[in-house]
């Protein structure tokens, strides 16, 4: 792994540290990775959670649209 420096304000570092304690993360890097993972989950949830309101009905045999007699 190649390390790099990211410049952030002291306030951001304090907020990350507070979040680190809340998450029980071992480092700020682990905290940032957890935020990235959460963001990706939210994006996927939005893409695959289209029927949250239960508006789409189950597929039924009559929906097939073909004559099977």
Any domain includes 29: yes
Range of the domain at 16: 12-50
Q: What is the pLDDT of residues 22-44, one digit of tens each?
A: 999 999 999 999 999 999 988 88
User: Domain tally for the chain?
Assistant: 1
Any domain includes 39: yes
- 57, with CB counted inside 10 A (0-12, 13-18, 19+), is exposed
Any domain includes 26: yes
Average pLDDT over residues 6-30: 96
pTM over 0.85: no
37-to-2, 34, 47, 48 alpha-carbon distances in Å: 20, 5, 15, 16
């Amino acid at each position: 792994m190649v390390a790099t420096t990211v410049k952030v304000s002291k306030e951001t570092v304090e907020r990350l540290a507070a979040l680190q304690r809340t998450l029980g993360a071992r480092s700020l890097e682990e905290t940032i990775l957890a935020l990235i993972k959460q963001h990706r989950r939210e994006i996927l949830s939005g893409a695959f959670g289209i029927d949250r309101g239960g508006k789409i009905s189950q597929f039924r045999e009559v929906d097939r649209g073909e004559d099977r007699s």
